[in-house]
Structure 1
């Protein structure tokens, strides 16, 4: 049974005009409500058949004090129901100015740390709860062009970073020295992801830890997915996964059995490591983008994920809709390179005739670099939103169910490649090619920083 009713064009073998409408009859809407709807809605005190009205926060606080729910505290749904009303405000405060274009910015799982990486070999680790104090200032080793990705181990002891090389470096964050200069103040261990026949000219675009911290998974420019066993200190798997660059990989859930991948061949693929992988066969394929995929973020439930595409869209996917084989290779009638060209106007009107996505979100720009998108946090929003950086210097926040743009944050002077929502507070951090790492927060979330903003008029490189 299809969980979303969407208009679909029929009888065409090629790309067709996109006049899809958002009509909601879906499971993810139900799941979102379960995570973000006040328990008062389900109370016996509710008058039957009365339309649901927004419940004032003061009423919820009074009900909690009176132990109305019988739990003595807010449920997780109550917490997200309150917090999701207080989105970060459209007024940014700079956290830091990097020495070059800022490419990566990510909170740790508990929100106590922020990792920010720039093109000019700098990676900084900030103590979020201690005035954004710099805990580590890492000088990346063996850098080629830029830091493409970073990942923090689940125990927050180790940081890995990758570049446009087959080498992933790992740094111990628990050492006392603040400055981290390779082979001088401490050792940056390296993990070689190349195997016989690979050569040394492929790039690593995406890197992630498994939930148990024992493995690293990477997406690369030689069309492959790599898995590195950290306990055995060796590469455990190389999978020829796509027919073009694998820009992004993500674990589907905490088990680590299922992996999502996205490529410049326009396909999202699902890999079940318990079967098929040895034969190089994907568990399923999802098609709908008409340009390459730049990033994938899993909802964490093993079913849903989102992807950013160079066709200027974010798409929501349900893996229960996947197919065994691709139905259509998307033919194009235009020549275009996302790194330095605007997206053709005629392409914006096209829709994949075999689109298997659940929903499509439009408004932001995926140009110039591999722009990233995410689900908003479970605790503070119930994953009600999707947010993404954009080439047009803004951060966009979409309602996952209605597709509406509920917030658009504008402050930076250049493309925003990455952004991260604090797991517990209404605070969002963005990293931009204007070299700034900035935060957007609801008033009272944390102490303001006082870093002055300096305009830069120099040309930003792609």
Structure 2
């Protein structure tokens, strides 16, 4: 089994803090999620997370007007310049300060950044390979000093909150907390001096130019909007006005009159004169300037709106709220949502894959159960029936039924076809359930609690409590049903694992004694082995049939890593307190994946016990436990600087107010004062084995083998090139061209060859395909069946491959188990879509068949000339149809990709 999993996506978090940015065409929205950036494709309904990560949470992002360069800056001022389309990092640079505003000039030659009270303008680094010299050579390569400071502007007396460029990139506006806005010129202009716009009574949040550059709008925190124009003094004589008398003056004042709320964000769209403002009470308003006509007023949240962005056409408004992790895209003209997503605003507890592998279910302490689509990355449904934290979730192996256990004392069953809760299971007394297991048949569900020592078993059909299994002398921490349905495995804090024969006449249990409290149990797909994680950091493997230990390994050193601010010991010496809280087997049972209260996820080989890979969950220093060594410069006389409460020193009243509960460490990561601790409460392999996901503090991390195209020179020689492959394809040597494309491992070339083979020759090519390429061919066909619209072509390939090589697949089940699951998933999806279309059209067909037939006039009633014309047309159409069928059978070819 391949183990080179790469990070592919981040789900479960859609917005944390910072600003939102649209692409130039307005089809994609960039949102900062912690120390990463997620791109939401609003047209194709997909999302992906860029592969690079900052060392702390991202504060500001900016996209070049041409859409190639993406500049992201974190809370410490560290900047990363990346190529947006290629998703690669170009340069790292430190701005040496906290950044409050970042924006590219409309011409793209400069970008302005606000660092406290001063403003710096930098030259935009050139894009690698984007420019060409006069002789045609590529002159864009990597630069020695890509970041060059162009000019620095000083004059504000407090933090600059916003920067806005003019459309010609010659001037820019700055708004500051010192109650003023200022006009600056990029280069010295004749007759121009930097101008101060003063008159507000509160901090100026933003300032904008109008579309014709003749008017300036400024908005302050207290809800005052001023309109500035270049006018002479009102007292001056209109006939003798000189240039010295003209200056920027307030021509109009408007107020929002929100008594209990203040402005937290605002955006202006000059071409349409649309002003969008967001307030601290979750209200946002739309006004048309300069008349200040109110267009809309809508409340979208109970907490403040942190940022708002308008796309280039002015139709879509994007709102972000960090308190609840909400991201909304609203079309104000039709008053409809384009995108409405919200992640878990509390820590994740568990996750599970659906049997088909296209859904991931997560549950968290906020009492919500969310279903995520792996292809699009969006949350498709949220269940809110639980009234307390949800601790466990499990899928039934058959059917679309999801089971969840919660601290509110209930176990619920959800139907994922109708999206409703259809069964609730409760115990005779109030218990907080913490573990869950479902019988493979889906007829029995078991749950364990930390408040009781019994295992409760219910019938899914009736909802009645069938039995309470007694035997443990401590709280039940983990449960698992064997995939063959023969036994139930339970782990407890009494240092035992018990194997229960639930369906036997006499319910016997066989205890397995361990050396420490059991944290997690997992059973292999063949139901022959159990993996047990204990509190002392040991990972042991037991035989189910013999009840004896087969192997064991010490994972304390592997899982340990990262040091919290309050730790007195270094990360290397804190290994004694680390253990695996979650363990899971892969689809073929050859490896196990383990995670715990650490920044590492460990992948072990079951047969040898060797650590195959360590995956780092996060390098975000905004979380506890991600750094190996503490910075001695952050140690003060009163203790570590991160533990000091600096809230009372804030300048604004709402920032000084502490609304959190005393001693609470739960809640949103962007709101709590103490940094959240990095941990991995749940991991899970996809049924196909091509990916695994991990529930972490930052969200739902997805690692995949298909993250990028990899070059695998298998059986490659000098004659195998894309050009020679296309020549071979043109000679109609289908099998040779297919093998050459496999050797090159080029996805586009392989797809072109695959679709070019005529349907009549598919059976012959499949028969002669070497067994060494069988697994890769099945995987490619299964992927094509999921993505391409060529339904019949894919089914013909699958039928031919399974018919010709069925014996090989059966004899080597272990080797082809993963790809067989992919084929089953593809066929199941096609079957479901065909059944859905048939069901939708069934009533239409019944309606059409039930209509009374009208009496048709006999053909003889027509004139003889008309009858002859009809016969001639029918004969011509039949002849053309026969000729077309002959062409398809003899000369017609499948046209491949361009």
TM-score normalised according to structure 2 size: 0.32
Match of 2:386 among 134, 141, 149: 141
When residues 170 and 421 of structure 1 are mapped into structure 2, their CA distance, relative to the original with a 3 A threshold, is: same
CA distance in 1, matches of 2:396, 2:545: 30
8 Å contact from structure 1 (residues 217, 226) kept in 2: yes
State yes or no: 1:216 paired with 2:445. yes
State yes or no: 1:190 paired with 2:454. no
State yes or no: 1:253 paired with 2:510. no
Deviation at 1:234, TM superposition (A): 0.4
Report the equivalent of 1:373: 583
SS for the counterpart of 1:116 is strand
CA distance in 1, matches of 2:511, 2:467: 20
When residues 102 and 218 of structure 1 are mapped into structure 2, their CA distance, relative to the original with a 3 A threshold, is: same
Deviation at 1:167, TM superposition (A): 1.3
My pick for the range that moved more, 419-428 or 359-368, is 359-368
State yes or no: 1:407 paired with 2:610. no
State yes or no: 1:316 paired with 2:232. no
Deviations 1:68-95 (A, max 9, x none): xxxxxxxxxxxxxxxx125312x46312
8 Å contact from structure 1 (residues 87, 426) kept in 2: no
8 Å contact from structure 1 (residues 426, 445) kept in 2: no
SS for the counterpart of 1:205 is strand
Report the equivalent of 1:359: 552
CA distance in 1, matches of 2:368, 2:503: 38
8 Å contact from structure 1 (residues 306, 373) kept in 2: yes
Deviation at 1:304, TM superposition (A): 0.8
Report the equivalent of 1:437: 700
- Bigger relative contact order, structure 1 or 2, given CA contacts below 8 A and separation 6+? 1
Match of 2:687 among 418, 423, 428: 423
CA distance in 2, matches of 1:275, 1:204: 25
State yes or no: 1:126 paired with 2:390. no
8 Å contact from structure 1 (residues 147, 161) kept in 2: yes
My pick for the range that moved more, 228-237 or 268-277, is 268-277
CA distance in 1, matches of 2:404, 2:503: 28
CA distance in 1, matches of 2:577, 2:594: 13
Match of 1:393 among 579, 583, 599: 599
Higher alpha-carbon Rg: 2
Deviation at 1:267, TM superposition (A): 0.5
CA distance in 1, matches of 2:705, 2:421: 40
8 Å contact from structure 2 (residues 586, 689) kept in 1: no
CA distance in 2, matches of 1:216, 1:445: 40
Report the equivalent of 1:300: 525
CA distance in 1, matches of 2:399, 2:373: 12
8 Å contact from structure 1 (residues 169, 190) kept in 2: yes
Deviation at 1:303, TM superposition (A): 2.4
When residues 166 and 267 of structure 1 are mapped into structure 2, their CA distance, relative to the original with a 3 A threshold, is: same
When residues 154 and 445 of structure 1 are mapped into structure 2, their CA distance, relative to the original with a 3 A threshold, is: farther
Deviation at 1:188, TM superposition (A): 6.2
**Which residues of structure 1 form unaligned runs of 5+?**
1-83, 177-185, 324-355, 448-462
When residues 187 and 111 of structure 1 are mapped into structure 2, their CA distance, relative to the original with a 3 A threshold, is: closer
Report the equivalent of 1:239: 469
CA distance in 1, matches of 2:382, 2:403: 14
Match of 2:403 among 134, 138, 160: 160
SS for the counterpart of 2:581 is coil
Deviation at 1:136, TM superposition (A): 1.0
Equivalence map 1:38-53=2 (5 Å): none
When residues 367 and 233 of structure 1 are mapped into structure 2, their CA distance, relative to the original with a 3 A threshold, is: farther
Match of 1:175 among 398, 402, 418: 418
8 Å contact from structure 1 (residues 367, 391) kept in 2: no
CA distance in 2, matches of 1:370, 1:190: 31
8 Å contact from structure 2 (residues 580, 596) kept in 1: no
CA distance in 1, matches of 2:424, 2:545: 38
When residues 247 and 367 of structure 1 are mapped into structure 2, their CA distance, relative to the original with a 3 A threshold, is: farther
CA distance in 2, matches of 1:422, 1:406: 19
RMSD (CA atoms): 2.6
Match of 1:95 among 11, 24, 39: 11
When residues 170 and 410 of structure 1 are mapped into structure 2, their CA distance, relative to the original with a 3 A threshold, is: same
CA distance in 2, matches of 1:92, 1:390: 21
When residues 153 and 105 of structure 1 are mapped into structure 2, their CA distance, relative to the original with a 3 A threshold, is: same
Deviations 1:304-359 (A, max 9, x none): 11111111122111134438xxxxxxxxxxxxxxxxxxxxxxxxxxxxxxxx4532
8 Å contact from structure 2 (residues 424, 463) kept in 1: no
CA distance in 1, matches of 2:577, 2:432: 19
When residues 260 and 274 of structure 1 are mapped into structure 2, their CA distance, relative to the original with a 3 A threshold, is: same
Match of 2:360 among 114, 126, 132: 114
CA distance in 2, matches of 1:398, 1:370: 12
TM-score normalised according to structure 1 size: 0.61
CA distance in 1, matches of 2:702, 2:355: 17
CA distance in 2, matches of 1:217, 1:305: 18
Aligned length: 304
CA distance in 1, matches of 2:703, 2:577: 23
CA distance in 2, matches of 1:308, 1:426: 24
Equivalence map 1:44-83=2 (5 Å): none
Report the equivalent of 1:9: none
When residues 85 and 301 of structure 1 are mapped into structure 2, their CA distance, relative to the original with a 3 A threshold, is: closer
When residues 404 and 276 of structure 1 are mapped into structure 2, their CA distance, relative to the original with a 3 A threshold, is: same
SS for the counterpart of 1:307 is strand
Deviation at 1:445, TM superposition (A): 6.8
8 Å contact from structure 1 (residues 269, 285) kept in 2: yes
Deviation at 1:223, TM superposition (A): 0.8
When residues 230 and 444 of structure 1 are mapped into structure 2, their CA distance, relative to the original with a 3 A threshold, is: same
